[in-house]
Structure 1
Amino acid sequence: MTALLTGLVSLLVFGVVILVHEWGHFWAARHCGIRVEEFSIGFGPRLFAWGKGETRYTLRLIPLGGYNLFSNPPDPEGEGEAIPPVHPPKPKTGLFPVVVRGQEFEQAGAWQRFFVTLWGAVMNFVLGFLVLLVLVLSMSNLGGTTVAQFVDDAQSSATGLQLGDTIVEVDGQRVRTANSLAQLFDGTTQQHTMLVLRDGELVTLTGVTVAPTTDEDGNVVSGVDFRVAAVSKTTRNVLVQTGEFFRYYSTAILGGFWQLATGQVGVDQLSGPIGTVSAVSQAVQYGWRDVLSLMALLTINVGIFNLLPIPALDGCKLLFLLFEGLTGHAVPQRFQMVVNTAGMVLLLWLMMLVTMQDITRFF
Structure 2
Amino acid sequence: MQTIIAFIIIFGSLVFFHELGHFIFAKRAGIMVREFAIGMGPKIFSMTKGETLYTIRLLPIGGYVRMAGEDFDAIELQPGYRVALVTNEDNVVEKIILNQNNHHPNVVFLEVERADLNKELWIEGYDEDDESEEQRLIRYQVSRAAVLVENGKETVIAPFDRQFDSKTVGQRAMTIFAGPLFNFILAFFIFILIGLFQGVPTYEPIITQVTDDGPAKAAGMQDGDYVKAINGTPITTWQELSETISKNPGNPLKFTVEREGQPVSLAITPKTVKAEDGAKAGQIGVLYETPYKKAPLQAIPNAAENTYNWTVQIVKMLGKLVTGQFSIDDLSGPVGIYKNTEEVAKYGIYNLMHWAAVLSINLGIMNLLPLPALDGGRLLFFAFEAVRGRPVNREKEGLIHFVGIVLLMILMVVVTWNDIQRFFF
Which bin holds the TM-score, normalised by the shorter protein? 0.7 to 0.9
Task: Return the match for 2:59 from 62, 69, 72.
Answer: 62
User: What is the correspondence of 1:306-325 to structure 2 with a 5 Å cutoff?
Assistant: 306-325=367-386
Counterpart in 2 of 1:41? 38
Counterpart in 1 of 2:105? none
Higher relative contact order (CA 8 A, sep 6+): 1
**Partner deviation per Cα, 1:224-243 (whole Å, 9 max, x = no partner):** xxxx99877152x2222222
Sort the Cα spacing of 1:117 and 1:242 in 2 relative to 1 into closer, same or farther, 3 A.
same
Preserved contact between residue 332 and residue 419 of structure 2 (Cα < 8 Å): yes
Counterpart in 1 of 2:344? 283
Deviation at residue 335 of structure 1 after TM alignment: 2.4
TM-score between both structures, scaled by the size of structure 2:
0.62
Counterpart in 2 of 1:115? 174
Sort the Cα spacing of 1:52 and 1:142 in 2 relative to 1 into closer, same or farther, 3 A.
same
Of the structure 1 ranges 64-73 and 272-281, higher mean CA displacement relative to structure 2 is found in 64-73
**Partner deviation per Cα, 1:136-182 (whole Å, 9 max, x = no partner):** 2223454178x999x989998364534xx9x7xxxxxxxxxx58x56
Counterpart in 1 of 2:23? 26
CA RMSD in angstroms comes to 3.6
Deviation at residue 248 of structure 1 after TM alignment: 2.2
Q: Distance in 2 between matches of 1:267 and 1:285?
A: 27
Question: Which structure has the highest helix share of the two?
Answer: 1
Q: Distance in 2 between matches of 1:75 and 1:106?
A: 15
Counterpart in 1 of 2:108? none
Instruction: State how many pairs are aligned.
Output: 299
**Partner deviation per Cα, 1:109-156 (whole Å, 9 max, x = no partner):** 1110000000000000000011111112223454178x999x989998
User: What is the correspondence of 1:292-303 to structure 2 with a 5 Å cutoff?
Assistant: 292-303=353-364
Q: Is the aligned partner of 1:329 residue 2:329?
A: no
Preserved contact between residue 272 and residue 354 of structure 1 (Cα < 8 Å): yes
Sort the Cα spacing of 1:186 and 1:16 in 2 relative to 1 into closer, same or farther, 3 A.
farther
% same residue: 31
Q: Is the aligned partner of 1:161 residue 2:233?
A: yes
Preserved contact between residue 128 and residue 295 of structure 1 (Cα < 8 Å): yes
User: What is the correspondence of 1:46-195 to structure 2 with a 5 Å cutoff?
Assistant: 46-72=43-69, 86=119, 103-140=162-199, 142-143=201-202, 157=229, 159-162=231-234, 185=243, 188-189=246-247
**Partner deviation per Cα, 1:43-73 (whole Å, 9 max, x = no partner):** 1111121111111111111122111111217
**Partner deviation per Cα, 1:173-232 (whole Å, 9 max, x = no partner):** xxxxx58x5699385136xxxxxxxxxxxxxxxxxxx99899xx9424369xxxx99877
Question: Which structure has the highest strand share of the two?
Answer: 2
Q: Is the aligned partner of 1:233 residue 2:295?
A: yes
Q: Distance in 1 between matches of 2:404 and 2:28?
A: 29
**Partner deviation per Cα, 1:77-125 (whole Å, 9 max, x = no partner):** xxxxxxxx959xxxxxxxxxxxx99610111111100000000000000
Sort the Cα spacing of 1:286 and 1:148 in 2 relative to 1 into closer, same or farther, 3 A.
closer
Structure 1 residue runs of 5 or longer lacking an equivalent are: 77-84, 88-99, 168-177, 191-209
Deviation at residue 309 of structure 1 after TM alignment: 0.8
Q: Distance in 2 between matches of 1:63 and 1:282?
A: 19
TM-score between both structures, scaled by the size of structure 1:
0.72
Deviation at residue 325 of structure 1 after TM alignment: 2.5
Deviation at residue 18 of structure 1 after TM alignment: 0.4
Structure 2 residue runs of 5 or longer lacking an equivalent are: 77-117, 121-158, 208-215, 249-267, 273-282
Q: Is the aligned partner of 1:8 residue 2:14?
A: no
